[in-house]
């Protein structure tokens, strides 16, 4: 048997350029290249999965920040509206109540209408504080932002309402003042 193997080996060496037909040949370089491509593709896929997860986390973070920003804007707008209400109470309401053209029985009515608006404003502030500080309500940030947005709209309506009432009372005062001047003008020309 040794002799046969040695003979075959000598024949292969002697045939210096002759191909051994019938024996399968494998190209290892193509196989290795394919494996390298598969490994590289796997790495890219893993990197893409990490990127998708990162983008998803970033999107969630942006949505949370956006919700917080919306809440902050709503809270700021409500605070500004409450400041407007306070300014009206300090200046315009005092002028209306001190006017000699507002009758005594009207003072109570004017005070009650303004008090109702201010009480509603204070209730909004209390409710807003409860929403922002309490987890007992079990609200998501989006739900909390929606409720605050509704309260912001209510606050704008209160400001509009108090401005309308103030304008109406100032118009009444102006009309009565003019009426008083007409009634008490000098008739001698």
Dump pLDDT digits (tens) for 18-34: 555 555 555 677 767 77
Instruction: Say if residue 176's pLDDT is above 60.
Output: yes
pTM of the model: 0.58
DSSP state of 103: -
Give the pLDDT of residue 45. 86
Give the tokens for residue 120: 């509603």
Instruction: Specify the residue for token string 């009444």.
Output: 172
| Cα–Cα separations (whole angstroms), residue 37 to 30, 44, 46, 63, 88 | 10, 10, 14, 38, 75
- Cα(128)–Cα(108) distance, rounded to whole angstroms? 30
- The stretch 147-159 carries a mean pLDDT of 86
- The stretch 52-73 carries a mean pLDDT of 81
- Cα(103)–Cα(158) distance, rounded to whole angstroms? 25
Q: Which residue has the higher pLDDT, 16 or 51?
A: 51
- The stretch 152-161 carries a mean pLDDT of 88
Instruction: Say if residue 175's pLDDT is above 90.
Output: yes
**Reported confidence tier of residue 167, pLDDT bands at 50, 70, 90:** very high
- Cα(18)–Cα(183) distance, rounded to whole angstroms? 135
Give the pLDDT of residue 23. 52
């Amino acid at each position: 048997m040794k002799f046969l193997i040695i003979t075959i080996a000598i024949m292969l060496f002697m045939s210096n350029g002759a191909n051994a037909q019938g024996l399968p040949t494998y190209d290892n370089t193509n196989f290795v290249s394919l494996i390298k491509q598969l490994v590289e593709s796997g790495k890219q896929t893993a990197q893409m999965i990490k990127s998708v997860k990162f983008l998803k986390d970033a999107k969630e973070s942006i949505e949370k920040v956006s919700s917080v920003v919306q809440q902050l804007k709503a809270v700021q707008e409500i605070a500004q509206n409450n400041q407007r209400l306070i300014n009206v109470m300090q200046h315009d309401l005092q002028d209306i109540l001190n006017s000699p053209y507002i009758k005594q029985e009207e003072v109570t009515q004017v005070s009650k209408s303004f008090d109702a608006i201010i009480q509603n404003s204070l209730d909004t502030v209390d409710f807003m504080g409860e929403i922002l500080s309490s987890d007992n309500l079990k609200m998501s940030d989006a739900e909390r932002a929606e409720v605050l947005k509704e309260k912001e709209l209510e606050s704008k309506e209160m400001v509009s309402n108090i401005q309308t009432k103030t304008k109406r009372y100032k118009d009444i005062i102006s009309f009565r003042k003019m009426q008083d001047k007409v009634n008490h003008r000098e008739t001698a020309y």
